[in-house]
A and B are shown apart, each in its own frame.
Chain A
Amino acid sequence: MAKKAAPKKPATQKKTAMAKSATEPGIKYVKKDAPGRGEVEILAETYDNGLPSGEDAGRWRQKLESREDKLKYLQNGERYWYSDDWFGSEKRKTPA
C-alpha cells in the first residue's frame, strides 16, 4: 500500500505566501488588534498609488456590449423601473 502523502500544513503555506507577498512592491501590511487573537498582521489598502488619468478610467457602462446585455442589466440593475418581476417596497402595499 502506497504511503499516503502527508497533507501540507496550511499555516506554513499561508506564512510562505504572505512572506512572498510582503516582498512585492506596493503590497502593504498593517498590524491590528483582533478580538481574542491579539495583534495580527493584515493586508493594508490595495489601491495603486497616484491618480487615475483619462476620462475613460471610471467608465463602466462600456462593459455591457450587446443590446441584449444592456436590456438584461436594466431589468436587473434598474429592476424597480424596468422589470416585471420586481416592484420595489412601495408596491407591496399598493399593488400595481
Chain B
Amino acid sequence: MAEDEKKNKSIDKATQELYEKACADEISTSYSRADSLKPCPIGSVGSCCKNCGMGPCRIPLPKGKEETPEEKKKRRGICGATAETIAARNFIRMIAGGAAAHSDHGRGVAELFVAVAKGEAPGYKIRDEQKLLALALEWGIDIGDRSNEEIALEIGEMSLAEFGKQEGEILFAKRAPLKRQEIWREQGVMPRGIDREIVEIMHRTHIGVDQEYQNLLTQGVRASIADGWGGSMIATELQDILFGTPSPVLSEVNLGILKEDEVNIIIHGHEPLLSEMIVAASRDPEMIDLAKSKGAKGINLGGICCTANEILMRHGVPLAGTFLQQELALVTGAVDAMVVDVQCIMESLPDIAQCYHTQVITTSPKAKIKGAMHIEFNEHDAVNGAKAVVKAAIEAFPNRGKNVRIPQDTHNLIAGFSHETINYLLGGLFRASYRPLNENIINGRIRGVAGVVGCNNARWEHNQAHIAMVKELIKNDVLVIQTGCSAMASAMAGLMVPEAASKYAGKGLAEVCETVGIPPVLHMGSCVDNSRILIAATAMVKDGGLGDDISDLPAAGAAPEWMSEKAISIGQYFVASGVYTVFGVTWPTQGSKEVTEYLFKDMEEKYGGMWDFEPDPIQAAHKMIAHIDEKRKALGIDKARERVLYDMEMRRELEG
C-alpha cells in the first residue's frame, strides 16, 4: 500500500499499520466505506427535510452562483417550509438527539444511584462522600447525622425529578454565574425540565408547527442548556459520587496497550455503570486464575470512546483508541472480547469479529447489534453480569488465531483533571483556588483557555485536526482542556504529560505548567464531562479579575473533527454559556445563509457566545486566539504593565 494512502487516513502510526492490515485481510472499515460512500451534498448542508411522508424535500442552493430573490422564493418544501425553516429544524433535531443521548445516560446513572441508596445494587457504594455532601448543601437537603444512603436517596430522587420537571428552572442552572442566569431568563431559554425541552423540539419540528427559524433555534438553545447544565451534569456528578471524583492518574494510550499473552478485553461506549464492575471483575483472583487456566498470563483491560475515558479518569485503565480505531482494535486479532454499552458503536463490529475470534458483547437493552452476544446489564446483579462478560472473554482467548498484529505505539498520559482536582492542585488543600490560574492569565503568562473536544470523523484524516489545533494553541500560551476522543488524540501525540510543556508550549504557559506540575493539555474526561469544563469556567469567573460572566473570559471552544449529534448539542450549550465555539470538517446549516448568519453572528448579541466554522485547524486556532485577545483587551489585560512597588511617600500621595 502506498504511504500516501495510509497517511491520508490517519496521522497515527498504529492506525496506519492496522488500516494496512485491514486492507490485506479484506476487512471493510469506516475508512474504506468513507472512500466509497460520499456524503449527500444536500443533506450535509441541512437542505433536505424528511419530517413527513410528502418528502423528502430537497431544496439545494444553486450551484456556483448567487441565489436570486425569485429562486429563493421557489426554494420551499411541499408544505411551504423555507430553506431557513428546514435548516433550523434539522439543526435543532441534532441538538435533541445529542441532548437525549447525554441525558438518558444521566437518567440511567440516577436510577442506579437510587438503587444504591436503597441497598438494592450489590457491589456499588458511595465512594465520594464529600461530593455527596456538596450536592446536599446545594439542593438544601438536610445533612445532620443522616447516613450517606439517606442523603443519597433524596439526591437521587431529586435528580430523577429533573428529567420530568414541567415548570421552574433546572437545579444546576444555579451553578452558573449570576449574569449568565439572568441572560438565560431574559432570552427565555432557561430550561424547565430536561425531557420537556427535548420533546418540545420534536413537536416544534413536526410538519406545520414552528416555522420561524429564530424561534426554532431558541428552543435548540434551551434544550442544549438542559443537556450541559442538566442531563450531562447529573451524569458527571452522580458518577463521581458513586465511582469517585477523578484525581491525577498515570496511564497509557493507543492500540499498543493490547498484550499478546493476556486476555484482552476492550470496553467501548459511554456509560461506566457496568464497566466499573468489569474493572473489579478483571482483578478478581478467581477470574485471573481462570484466565491462567486457559494459558493467558492475566487479564488486560483497555477502553475505546468515552467509557474508556470514564474508567481511565478513575482507575487509570489504559485507552486503546478513539472512535475511528474501534474496528482496527478487532483487526489486531488480539482482542478477545469487546464489550459495548451505548453511543458511537459501529454496527460493523460483529462482522469484523467473525473474521477473527473476538466476542462482541452488547450489554444495554437500548443498544443491541445483530450478530453480537447479549449479556444485559442489571444493576441489581452487576457483579455477576460483569463476571459473565469477563468469562466470555477468557473462553474466547484459546481461539485466538495466528493472524495477530499489535502495534508497538503507546504513549504515557496523565488524566484525572476534574474541576475539584484543578482547584486543589492550584491552591492546595487548605486554600484550594483558581487564583493562580486567573493571576497568570491576568499577567499574560497564560493567554487564555481553550476547550478542544469532540469526535473523530471518517471524512477527515484521523486526529490531524485535533493535534494541529492543540499544538498551535499551546504554542501560543493557551492552556487547553479536553474531553472525549479529542483528549485521546492529544494523549497519543504525547501532549498530556508534564514534560510536554517544555517541548510544545509557549514560554509563559510552560513556566506555569512546570511550577504547578501539570501538562499543558488537561484531560477532563468523557463527553458528559464537558459539564466539568462549564464548572471550571464558572470557577474562573467567581474567583474574580476576569469579568462577571463566562462570556467575559479569554476563552474559546472547538470540535475540529466532530461528527455526532452530541457534539452539536455540546457546541450549542457552550455558545449558550457565552463561549466562542469553532467546528471543523463540515457545517450542517450551510444550505441557509440566514440561519448560518444567525448562529455565527446574532447569537453573540443574545448570548455572548457564537458558533463559527473553519475546517483548517490552524486557521481555527488563530480565530480562537484572536477571540481570546479581544476578550483580553476588553478586560484591560492585553498589555503588560510594569509592576511598581509603592513606598510610603507614594502611598501618601495616592491617599491625598
Contact = CB atoms under 8 A, between A and B. Distances in A.
A67 B247 contact: no
B541 A90 contact: yes
A93 interface: yes
A76 B141 CA distance: 20
Given A63-B429, A74-B134, A80-B539, A55 B316 contact: yes
Most buried by B among A47, A51, A61: A61
Nearest to A80: B542
Interface in A17-33: none
Interface string A78-90: 1011100000111
Nearest to A96: B178
B133 A67 contact: yes
Interface in A46-82: 47, 51-55, 57-61, 63-64, 67, 70-71, 73-74, 76-78, 80-82
Nearest to A52: B250
B213 interface: no
B548 A82 contact: no
Contact of B423 (A70, A77, A82): A77
A91 B544 CA distance: 10
A90 B430 contact: no
Given A55-B249, A60-B247, A61-B128, A78 B431 contact: no
B130 A58 contact: no
21 contacts: A51-B250, A55-B249, A55-B315, A58-B250, A58-B416, A60-B429, A61-B247, A71-B137, A73-B432, A76-B430, A77-B429, A77-B432, A78-B420, A78-B423, A78-B432, A80-B542, A89-B544, A89-B545, A90-B178, A90-B548, A91-B178
B316 A78 contact: no
Contacts of A63: 429
Contacts of A13: none
A55 to B, nearest CB: 4
A58 to B, nearest CB: 3
B286 interface: no
A59 B247 contact: yes
B247 A73 contact: no
Nearest to A65: B129
Contacts of A70: 129-130, 133
B129 A74 contact: no
Given A81-B175, A88-B542, A60 B421 contact: yes
A61 B361 CA distance: 35
Nearest to A74: B134
Contacts of B130: 61, 64, 70, 73-74
Given A57-B250, A77-B423, 16 more contacts: A58-B416, A60-B421, A60-B424, A61-B245, A63-B429, A64-B429, A67-B129, A67-B133, A78-B423, A78-B432, A81-B138, A88-B541, A88-B542, A89-B548, A90-B549, A96-B178
Contacts of A78: 134, 420, 423, 432
Interface in B456-477: none
Contacts of B431: 76-77
A interface, by DSSP: helix, strand, loop or mixed? Answer: helix
Contacts of A54: 316
A70 B430 CA distance: 12
B158 to A, nearest CB: 17
A76 B432 CA distance: 7
A89 B457 CA distance: 41
Contacts of A73: 130, 429, 432
B321 interface: no
B541 A57 contact: no
A71 to B, nearest CB: 6
A88 B544 contact: yes
B548 A93 contact: yes
Given A74-B130, A76-B432, A58 B248 contact: yes
A94 B545 CA distance: 15
B287 to A, nearest CB: 18
B145 to A, nearest CB: 9
Nearest to A87: B542
A83 B541 CA distance: 16
Interface string B398-415: 000000000000001010
Most buried by A among B143, B423, B433, B517: B433
A23 B127 CA distance: 44
Contacts of A51: 250, 412
B133 A53 contact: no
A51 B178 CA distance: 43
B154 interface: no
Nearest to A59: B247
B508 interface: no
B340 to A, nearest CB: 24
